[in-house]
Amino acid sequence: MSLRGDYSRAGSDFSVEQDWEKYTPEEHALYRRLFERQSKLVPRYACPEWISAISHLDAAREIPVFEMISKKLRKATGWEIVAVPGLIPDDAFFTHLANRRFPVTVWLRKPEELDYIVEPDVFHDFFGHVPLLFERVYADHLYEYGKGGLKAMRLDAVKFLARLYWFTIEFGLVKTGKGVRAYGAGLMSSGGELAYSVEDPRPKRLPFDLERIMRTEYLIDRYQDSYFVIDSFEHLMRETAPDFTPLYARLKMGTYPIL
């Protein structure tokens, strides 16, 4: 796969300078348009933790200066943002998470990609992922996920762990007092799938089930057929705390039917 970011200036950890001055007025305007569109959906479809976090970020007007956000994040949960050229190798990605650094892509999609892009851009990474890094339990979970990723690499089981990330951090739903709400970044940054995931009658909304998630292949080019619903971030933390080594071994046997 060829990636569209500029990797020529990336360090060994794949970090780059954000070069905020290089964004054009048109890019800031497109970011603002995306931000405004999603913001209209948020009160109805996002989980309360996400809504409360975004209100402290002052990130609606233009593409944010990552360092300004990192200052607030460090105080809140010890996380910071690191600028990257786009998707980075698994080991670099997991190493950042295991050090409480969240990689955020520097480039923004083109106007003709308003509704769909293949690779994550700054809007997806920032709007989708960063607000929940202010939530202590979620932030701790992602740190544990990073450590778990490095371990999964040693056990040759990243394929299974990536499914957990997909069905939680990217496309997860959570129960709230007002009904099911979205917390996954792929949902939060999507113009169509956010409402679809929460209220369309077609997809399945299954209770969180670690083993089932790790047996479920995901779709990268259309809306999901199934979403998994956690009770709370504490619930997610608890369910993913055990050592996955025996589970990985069973999954690799492949003797169970794909659910």
List of residues contacting Fe ion (CB under 5 A): 120, 185
Residue 185 binding target from ligand HBI, Fe ion, none, CB below 5 to 8 Å by type? Fe ion
CB contact at 8 A, 206 and 229: yes
Smallest gap, in angstroms, from Cβ of residue 213 to ligand HBI?
13
Binder of ligand HBI out of 41, 47, 87, 174 (CB under 6 A) = 87
Q: Which is nearer to Fe ion, 179 or 192 (CB)?
A: 192
Is 171:186 a contact under the CB 8 Å cutoff? Answer: yes
Closest to 180 (Cα-Cα) out of 192, 202, 159, 196: 196
Which of 44-47's residues contact partners 24+ apart within 8 Å by CB, and which partners? Answer: 44/195, 44/198, 45/181, 45/182, 45/187, 45/194, 45/195, 45/197, 45/198, 45/199, 46/181, 46/182, 46/183, 46/188, 46/194, 47/174, 47/176, 47/181, 47/182, 47/183
Q: Which residues of 186-205 are buried (b: 16+ CB within 10 A; e: fewer)?
A: bbbbbeebbebbbeeeebee
Under rule CB under 6 A, residue 73 binds ligand HBI: no
Nearer Cβ to Fe ion (152/185): 185
> Measured from the CB atom, is 7 or 256 closer to ligand HBI?
7
235 is catalytic: no
Task: Work out which of 79, 93, 107, 183 binds ligand HBI, going by CB under 6 A.
Answer: 93
Contacts of 208 (CB under 8 A, 6+ apart): 168, 228, 229, 230, 231, 235, 236, 239
Stretch that binds ligand HBI, among 18-26, 42-50, 51-59, 83-91 (CB under 6 A): 83-91
81 near ligand HBI, judged by CB under 6 A: no
Q: Tell me the closest approach of the beta carbon of residue 114 to Fe ion, in angstroms.
A: 18
Is 231 an interacting residue with respect to ligand HBI (CB under 6 A)?
Answer: no
Min separation Cβ 199 and ligand HBI, Å: 26
30 vs 87 by CB, closer to Fe ion: 87
The CA distances from residue 110 to 62, 80, 145, 239, in Å, are 15, 27, 31, 39
Count of beta carbons in the 10 Å neighbourhood of residue 259: 11
Token reading at 212: 């089932």
Q: Give the one residue of 103, 128, 131, 172 binding ligand HBI; rule: CB under 6 A.
A: 103
Q: Is 189 one of the annotated active-site residues of the chain?
A: yes
Indicate which of Fe ion, ligand HBI, none lies near residue 233 (CB less than 5 to 8 Å, by partner kind): none
Residue 13 near residue 95, CB atoms below 8 Å: yes
**Interacting residue with ligand HBI among 117, 153, 155, 162 (CB under 6 A):** 162
Q: Tell the smallest beta-carbon distance from residue 241 to ligand HBI (Å).
A: 19
Active site residues: 124, 129, 170, 189
Binding site for ligand HBI (CB under 6 A): 84, 87-88, 90, 93, 103, 105, 120, 158, 162, 165
